[in-house]
Amino acid sequence: MDSSLTITACSVVDLRFPTSEEAHGSDAMHTDPDYSAAYVKLSTSCDGLAGYGLTFTLGRGTDLCVSAIELLAEKVVGKTLASLVETFGQTAQSIANDSQLRWLGPEKGVVHLAAAALLNAIWDLWARVENKPLWKLVSDLPAEQLVDCVDFRYLGNALTKQDALEILATNDSTRADRESELHTTGFPAYTTSAGWLGYSDDLIRKLCRQALSEGWEHFKLKVGADLEDDIRRAAIIREEIGPNRKLMVDANQRWEVAEAIEWVRQLSRFDLWWVEEPTSPDDVVGHAEIAKAIAPIGVATGEQCQNRVIFKQLLQLNAISFCQIDSCRLGSVNEILGVLLMAKKFNVPVCPHAGGVGLCEYVNHLIMIDYIRIGASLDNRVAEYVDHLHSHFVHPVVVRSGHYMPPTNAGYSAEIHQASIEQYSYPQGSEWQLRLAANA
Amino acid sequence: MDSSLTITACSVVDLRFPTSEEAHGSDAMHTDPDYSAAYVKLSTSCDGLAGYGLTFTLGRGTDLCVSAIELLAEKVVGKTLASLVETFGQTAQSIANDSQLRWLGPEKGVVHLAAAALLNAIWDLWARVENKPLWKLVSDLPAEQLVDCVDFRYLGNALTKQDALEILATNDSTRADRESELHTTGFPAYTTSAGWLGYSDDLIRKLCRQALSEGWEHFKLKVGADLEDDIRRAAIIREEIGPNRKLMVDANQRWEVAEAIEWVRQLSRFDLWWVEEPTSPDDVVGHAEIAKAIAPIGVATGEQCQNRVIFKQLLQLNAISFCQIDSCRLGSVNEILGVLLMAKKFNVPVCPHAGGVGLCEYVNHLIMIDYIRIGASLDNRVAEYVDHLHSHFVHPVVVRSGHYMPPTNAGYSAEIHQASIEQYSYPQGSEWQLRLAANA
């Protein structure tokens, strides 16, 4: 790496897609999501070379993330890339723990989402400089260097640096085989496209058939608003997919602990593989209680788990059977690596959350890293895939026969077409100007 | 109440006090706090009648809270006060769970701090309309109405509405006695003014003597940066205060779990009453591990515990001996009442966090409510008090002989003098303009 390469500027865009108009992504708690992103560009001293990163949001409040990124940018602008990634774990900790901003978290909410976007852009830049896809950059790192990218703070009673090195060492001799396997067959995905809460029964049936014809093996239904509706819709999906494919349900935090246990009991006749987000994402103890009561149906959660400390406890209390990291809620690859390593140590499969905008593009890299270096298994692993908004990306995710294929472009795949930015930036983009004029 | 009284506008100010210049409030994680607030005024259809609320911050990022409050204000402006407080628990839930903004939390970080500020202003307005101090308004509410102010979501496996009604009923016959006792002797306070991390040994000794002469009985020392320093400073304070007064230490989240246990063992010779924030505020399981290891020294935490779900788990796992609610981090009185009720059910004393700017003014009301209606005991109860920035308030807190005295003004005491706003609003206030000019 050219050690003088310097980050010279950080610009941030508020991008919003009007997805709520078609009920895409609707669930029991999020009735009108406009999939959005605070989108970062880090310019550098090398003309034409930039790093791109984003954090995912649901519309209102994207501007808060934009402002928070602008505040955090002063920790990055003027620094060399080499100095930032040399002790990348410490860099991540310092960005996520500004001495004044941390009161607004710490390491959660708007400020942590902002830290993630900024760190994502640094990872992208690093991978571009090395001319590798992000997953390949990380997969090729020497073990010590990979571990130095992790922020281990508060993980000491669950995962030490020595534990991490041992996990990497155990997988070392076989990692080349897994990498070639990924090039051939990819990493298994599942689709949520069929089961959104706002969809009609007929649309669910139609989307199921379409997904079956495309080779999907796992199907997820949004539940939790009304039990009779859920039973009817689960019956439709189970009828369409037959007895052998996997059916998961997702309550999006709708239930109290006891309610979750009872509701799942009512739906268990449809042979559920997992129950996702049964209650508050903050309730580790509650998830443990639910997990014990509904076994062998597994509990899955993570898309709104704020940081590694919550994941640590979910693992310590055997509260989850599936660990659903979110690529933008956790503080970028630095924090994600720590969670992947903990999940491996506790023998819990990682099945990332995706969808939204850009999450599939990110997750595509993370599952490759996990399979090659850390989790090193496909057992009970499946990554979410939603077929929305990929066309806005310069290097959109590639899914073949229900499998994520390894990205081949250099970087972390978050770069968005300039035309999309001009259309969807909020409120000045052309799509929003049209809507604002129509409502005026 | 005049049922037509309507909230007509919400204005928000970014107020910052340059406290970092004198190391006030410095600790192991927050090295340069500028005590700040996002300050809300709700104007009404009644000329001259307004509600005032705030959330406390540390400087940078106060603007994020201001923007978030402005986004949430649309749920309040144009509504009648009567409609908002009639089912106040539901109102609080709907403000804290906007269907798009909740992705940025949920119920944590910037958006939850903003919800707190807005709800604090509604409570202030309600108390002003009833012409009562907030504590008196709540203390006089019929039990059913008080309980309807609570947001019980996710508390079901720890506290039901029935539990809450039973707690209130048990205390009912004796509440008038406790209220008159408060008028006479107040609620016990402790001071952190002596033990900030940035202070010299000589200053600590001098401040100890001053605090002793003012009648204080509890002393708190900030620790966690360097063990030898901590031992030396704890020895100074113990020497000054003698063997019978209480000494607490506060690590401000500095430690890993095992490190906390070992560090506290080294300090235990100074007869500690509690250890505050030994590790991550998110680590319920870690706090439980520490609590078990260091007993009979108690674990105290809460000032950075994001919401009622974290407090629920701290109580369920016996992780805390002292419950330190923060008046601005929790979603106003609505969420605080739920935590007070849970703490009572689990028999853990509530010792609120205060200091900063406005926190003492708020806490003054909350301890009165807890003593009169909920906790109903002074055993092991003591509320933090820091003698900073009170002069900016129209109705500053009154402390006599180390006790908080009941506020007598109508409202929730957050109203700030117009002159202070003109001086300290950021960046246009006169104090900041001076500094910006000096740095230019």
Length of chain A: 440
Q: Residue A387: pLDDT band by 50, 70, 90 thresholds?
A: confident
Take residue B255 and report the two structure tokens written for it: 């430690």
Angle (nearest 5°) at CA B345 between B255 and B371 = 90
Separate counts of helices (H) and strands (E) for chain B: 17, 12
d(CA A265, CA A231): 11
Lowest mean pLDDT among A123-127, B24-28, B390-394: B24-28
Please give the interface size between A and B, counted as residue pairs whose CB atoms are below 8 Å apart.
Answer: 195
Q: What is the pLDDT of residue B270?
A: 98
Q: Is A277:A309 a contact under the CB 8 Å cutoff?
A: no
Q: Which residues pair with A43 in a beta bridge?
A: A9, A50
Q: What is the pLDDT of residue B23?
A: 66
Closest CA to B390 of B435, B356, B426: B356
Closest CA to B140 of B116, B98, B163, B168: B168
Q: What is the pLDDT averaged over residues B418-438? A: 96
Q: What does the mean pLDDT of chain A come to?
A: 96
d(CA B139, CA B148): 14
Take residue B91 and report the two structure tokens written for it: 């109102």
Q: What is the pLDDT averaged over residues B239-262? A: 96
> Which residue out of A112, A222, A287, A403 is catalytically annotated?
A222
Q: What is the pLDDT of residue A191?
A: 81
Q: Which residues pair with A393 in a beta bridge?
A: A416
Q: Please count the other Cβ atoms lying within 10 Å of the Cβ belonging to residue B363.
A: 29
- Which letter does DSSP use for residue A225 in this model? S
The pLDDT tens digits for B83-136 are 999 999 999 999 999 999 999 999 999 999 999 999 999 999 999 999 999 999
pLDDT at A27 over 80: no
Closest CA to A113 of A210, A37, A24, A217: A37
Q: What is the pLDDT of residue B124?
A: 98
**Residue B222 bears catalytic tag:** yes
Q: What is the pLDDT of residue A215?
A: 86
Q: Residue A2: pLDDT band by 50, 70, 90 thresholds?
A: confident
d(CA B351, CA B346): 14
Q: For A153, name the nearest residue in chain B, comparing CA atoms only.
A: B256
ipTM of the prediction = 0.97
Q: What is the pLDDT averaged over residues B139-151? A: 98
Domain ranges of chain B: 163-418
> Which residue out of B353, B388, B392, B403 is catalytically annotated?
B353
Q: Residue A24: pLDDT band by 50, 70, 90 thresholds?
A: low
The pLDDT tens digits for A253-271 are 999 999 999 999 999 999 9
Q: What does the mean pLDDT of chain B come to?
A: 96
The pLDDT tens digits for B260-291 are 999 999 999 999 999 999 999 999 999 999 99
Q: Is B326:B355 a contact under the CB 8 Å cutoff?
A: no
3-state secondary structure B242-255: CCCCEEEEECCCCC
Take residue B132 and report the two structure tokens written for it: 């009562």
Hey, are the CB atoms on B108 and A306 less than 8 Å from each other?
yes
Q: Is A38:A54 a contact under the CB 8 Å cutoff?
A: yes
For the entire predicted model, the pTM comes to 0.97
Q: What is the pLDDT averaged over residues B136-159? A: 98
> Percent of chain A at pLDDT above 90?
90
Q: Is A213 exposed, middle or buried (0-12, 13-18, 19+ CB in 10 A)?
A: exposed
> Percent of chain B at pLDDT above 70?
98
Hey, are the CB atoms on B304 and A29 less than 8 Å from each other?
no
Which one of A32, A111, A156 has the shortest CB-CB distance to B100?
A: A32
Cβ contacts (< 8 Å) between A105 and chain B: which residues? 108-109
Residue range A163-418, CATH number = 3.20.20.120
- C-alpha torsion angle, residues B423, B424, B429, B433 (rounded to 10): 100
Take residue B58 and report the two structure tokens written for it: 């540390």
Q: Is A215:A254 a contact under the CB 8 Å cutoff?
A: no
d(CA B107, CA B96): 6
Take residue B164 and report the two structure tokens written for it: 């809450």
Which one of B32, B58, B316 has the shortest CB-CB distance to A285?
A: B316
Q: What is the pLDDT averaged over residues B433-440? A: 90
> Which residue out of A353, A365, A392, A395 is catalytically annotated?
A353
